A and B are shown apart, each in its own frame.
Chain A
Amino acid sequence: MLMGSLWTPRGIYNAVIIILCIIMPWLAPAIGQEFFTDVFTRTMIFAIAAISLNLIMGYGGMISFGHAVYIGIGGYTVGILSYHGIDNGWIQWPMAIGLCGVFALIFGAISLRTKGVYFIMITLAFAQMMYFLSVSIEKYGSDDGLNIDSQSQFGVPFFDLSDPLTIYYTAFLCMMLCVYITYRFVNSRFGMVIRGSMSNDERMRSIGYPTYGYKLTAFVIAGMMAGLSGILSANFEAFMSPDNLFWIASGDLIFMVVLGGMGTIFGPIGGTVLFLVISEILSNFTESWHLIFGPLLILVVLYMRGGMEGFFASLGRSQND
């Protein structure tokens, strides 16, 4: 199932994206666009967050408009620990992911009592709350952001996250791990309950599944996964700022997922690649790139249902007819 339909337009499209991710550190210098290695590192880090959002939004119907908050919590945990001289990765990473889990548990427990628009808005409000918290703490840089002097240290030889290739492939492996978790999740009994509750929550509850607990668990897993994205981002950029958890960042994440194709295993990766490559190209072309990006977003929403995955899947269908 995961790779079963490789020789369809959709399978080829996904394979091309993954192969691009693998060979970019060699391809970029070869075509004289070295900065694309950085663009792809950033892409894969964002893709992890997009994959985690897709887990709850694409499979569980939970439209979180504050998902970037976990990138922020993860990243700031690394930054703040390193600010106080604790740069041991074996402490930083579990703590960052654990904290994201705790916050997702609190935010999720309250948000999941609501449905629909209320859910969208309350997740947005929680994220804004943390945004204002990060802006108001002067010790950790407030709105100037927090510089992170040293990357996470693991004490493992040849594993140095300040090395571009090391962080590149760490991000790649983390991304593939998240893909694998999604794949296992979606096809498990647990994932079936979540998917069932997306199409009809009442029916799931009446046949005896306490969906609240299931959804909350999925919400926490997604929060922790996005936290991993934050950890990598803090290590790669050596910088965290309140912008990382601003609501625009959460909106961007939703767009990445929708652009790629909601509720598909690889969709968020393609969506993120396209999103970041388009914004990179547009921002090189003009400073006011949002002027083109905004209408583009509207067009995608209005006319491209199912995102890239849906587009390539429909190509495959018309071929078989």
Chain B
Amino acid sequence: MTFALFVEQIINGLQLGIILFLVAAGLTLIFGIMDLVNLAHGTLYMFGAFFAATMVSITGSIVWGMILAIPLMLLAGVLLEVTILRTLYTRNHLDQVLATFGLILFFNELFLIAWGPEGTGIALPPWLSGSTKLGMGIELPDYRIVILVSGLIVAAMLYFLVAKTKIGMLIRAGASNREMVGALGVNIKLLYTAVFGIGAVMAGFAGMIITPITQAEAGMGEGFLILAFVVIVIGGIGSIRGAFYAAIITGLIDTLGRSFIDVVLLLVVESVTAETAGPAISSMLIYILMAIVLALKPNGLFPPRGA
């Protein structure tokens, strides 16, 4: 029983890690290449959730809804980049933080007006709401497996795009030396828009696939955004590989911490103390992890090469 619970929690942790990676990868790319601190990246995650929920209710199919939401995300990302964020690239980090903070306030309020405080959701169709027994008492909801697998597929696609294609080569070159790429005659503006679009689609995809188990609600992006910040800081800003490892570590520690810290604490202190301290410590765990990482390696675990 305890073993089964442990395995299930590990899978849940991996799932959180994958979702975190989808958001963090875009964030770290945008920072690494455009030198832009984009607080509104969590807003893109929220966009994904609402676009998918709307498309699913229009088409009546969860698969088609999500597929149709992806070009919408690309459009939203490109529009945002061209209208507002592009002007921020040459500004200092403080201006970027404030302006994107303004974007968050605006969009959260807009979505709150449009969908109300309770938001909206996506109902799972019967063929996805079952669960699969894996033996030894381990039972996993089917949809969690779908999240895990589809997240891994998107991560693999990103790897392929960055490591094996021409645009990926430009992205890597841009991440290590921006000015030089521009000097070599690459259309830097277009590259920036493309990178932002990719980041937007990935964050949006994360928001979409999580919506059936959580909810789409205004302000859902920010808690997640801060987690994604923790991830890229641990991983080393600008490094996709770092973001991947850090996302998995963060996902696992957060999930396992929340389920097992009481048990661990009980070994040391009495039950009343464990019950009160448990939730407090578990919600602080990843921040403590980040503080330790930064105290030992101020540039993160895997700082990008050439930076």
Contact = CB atoms under 8 A, between A and B. Distances in A.
Interface in B206-239: 222, 226, 229-230, 232-233, 237
A243 B226 CA distance: 16
A120 B31 CA distance: 13
Given A291-B106, A298-B102, A301-B99, A122 B233 contact: yes
Interface in A277-314: 288-291, 293-298, 300-302
B93 interface: yes
A120 B98 contact: no
A121 B98 contact: no
A258 B97 CA distance: 12
B290 interface: yes
Contacts of B97: 63, 65, 120, 251, 254
A132 B113 contact: no
Interface in A86-140: 110-111, 113-118, 120-122, 124-126, 128-129, 132-133, 135-139
A255 interface: yes
B98 A132 contact: no
B140 interface: no
A137 B99 contact: no
B93 A117 contact: yes
Interface residues of A, number: 44
Given A138-B276, A290-B108, A297-B99, A125 B226 contact: yes
A223 B236 CA distance: 28
B233 A301 contact: no
Contact of A129 (B99, B102, B284): B284
Contacts of B280: 132-133, 136-137
Given A117-B37, A118-B298, A294-B106, A254 B291 contact: no
Contacts of B229: 121, 124-125
Given A113-B294, A120-B93, A138-B276, A291 B287 contact: no
A247 interface: yes
B294 A126 contact: no
Contacts of B134: none
Given A137-B276, A254-B94, A113 B101 contact: no
Contacts of B84: 298
Interface of A: 57, 63, 65, 110-111, 113-118, 120-122, 124-126, 128-129, 132-133, 135-139, 247, 251, 254-255, 258, 288-291, 293-298, 300-302
Closest 5 CB pairs of A and B: A294-B106, A297-B102, A294-B105, A129-B287, A132-B283
19 contacts: A113-B298, A118-B233, A118-B294, A121-B232, A125-B291, A128-B226, A133-B284, A137-B276, A138-B276, A254-B94, A288-B109, A290-B106, A290-B109, A291-B110, A294-B105, A295-B106, A297-B98, A298-B103, A302-B95
